[in-house]
Amino acid sequence: MAKIIATISPATEDLEGIDVGRINGSFGTKEDMAALARRIIGKMKARVLLDLPRSRSKKRTNSYTDDELIEVARKAGVSLLGLSYVRSGEEVREIRQKVAGCDIKLISKIEVREAEENLDDIIKASDGVMIDRGDLAAAVGFEKLPRLQKRIIRKSNDHGKAVIVATEMLASMVNDTEPTKAEVLDIANAVSEGADYVMLSEETAVGRHPNHVVRTMKRVIDEVSEKYKAIILAAGSGSGLGSITAEHHVCLADIGGKTILDTQLDALTRNGVHEEDIIIAAGKGDSYIRERVAGTDINVMFNPWYESTNMLTTIWLVKEQIRNGFIVVYGDIVFEPRILEKVIANKNDIVLAVEEKTCDEEDEKVCAAGGIMTLHADYALLPEPRHKCLPVDDAYGEFIGIAKFNRQGAALLGKEMDRIMYEQKFHSYLMTAFERLAAKGVRLNIEKINGCLWNDNDTIHDLKKTREDIYPGIKQRIKDINGRSERTQ
């Protein structure tokens, strides 16, 4: 779902519902900017984007250099730097050297003709791009802007980089209380084309009712955004469960009046995932799964190579259907809906549900630091599959088989899956792709789920625990939540 960036001036009231507050580095003192950044982070609970004017020739009230503003950004906790008038990837790389050692992302503003000519290099060098449609239209001609916007968004999506659409999205609402129909369609088109962020400028910096503008933009985004798709991986053979999986996947095992699959579908729908957005990836006994979901809008996909491939190949087969963001659920796990709620609420692009624990040899073990998945110091020396061979004493915890990918995360995973498939490593685990992304510096965020109930079901012992302990506990927690909801209505 697209997010909202709002330009903040000293006169702007505290805003609710924004994801990023933008500060224009062309105006105000360094002290003003630092104070605004603190207010955005503390009061508005949002990240901060500081625009570097660079070669700006238009009106500005200060003459600070890039280096001076970068120092402001470092000290004030700024997350993003907007680079004005970028013409080449080399310019971005020069700025990146100046922010080395701090976690500041670089957003290149596409607003001059040279940027169009060097678009691929700029996108590769940047953490994201902003389409500044005002200056860009003047540079290339307004009639070329629609096609160019689509091209920039598509290329950014393909590279897994954030893309921001800016300029006059709700310009009439600087003074008016209602948007024009053209503005509504403009936002809708940008989101539908694949924009990760849409931006407000004068509407919130100097407008008469900035919070109303933010709410208006969010209403449009919510209406047109594609909801999360979900893929349940149920194509494995389940050899450790004997006769229970003789004809079908373990997801159809009864755990107390419901199958594992039933509980997973309940958890997904409770968290707002619609039936038509659910894909069950089946293999052995797919006809039993189709029979189970007959009469619903749930999609069942068959992996004909399920006996010689692993779950990564199964996801790769449907990657075009989930390219705008998705949730993945291992087909053998039972979990309380709260886990999925926590994962979805985490706004990061890639989120893994992990229980911090002492692991055993068969767990999908992960290392982590600061809420981010990391690689073991001797990762390169570990045999395949490395996450299984990770020393148990060095593991942070276990990946439980639930993850979420926003649009950017899905693009990054898709490219990594392509590489693994081209290498003909068809039996790769999903965790293998996670490790390869982590090795490239991609942030895989950990959502710790300690205290939540869940269990995988690889063996008869696991299934017995689920039936006697885990699932009854989940049912009781759901009953308690429903009871509290009824009392508050």
CA distances to 254, 300, 314, 331, 402 from 286, in Å: 17, 8, 14, 13, 22
pLDDT tens digit sequence for 141-168: 999 999 999 999 999 988 889 999 999 9
Give residue 415's pLDDT: 92
Cis upstream peptide for 385 (omega within 30°) = yes
- Joined together, the tokens standing for residue 395 give 């593991």
Give residue 362's pLDDT: 86
Domain boundaries, the chain: 3-224, 229-482
**What is the architecture, at CATH level 2, of domain 3-224?**
Alpha-Beta Barrel (3.20)
pLDDT above 70 as % of the chain: 98
Domains 3-224 and 229-482 share a fold: no
Contacts of 454 (CB under 8 A, 6+ apart): 333, 334, 335, 336, 339, 355, 400, 470
Q: What is the mean pLDDT of residues 333-351?
A: 95
Q: What is the mean pLDDT of residues 261-273?
A: 95
pLDDT at 243 over 90: no
Q: What is the pTM of this model?
A: 0.79
Give the pairing of strands 350-356 and 397-405.
antiparallel
Give residue 439's pLDDT: 94
* Rg of the chain in Å (alpha carbons): 24
Give residue 482's pLDDT: 83
CATH class of the domain comprising 229-482: alpha beta
pLDDT tens digit sequence for 431-459: 999 999 999 999 999 999 999 999 999 89
CA distances to 399, 477, 486 from 271, in Å: 20, 15, 18
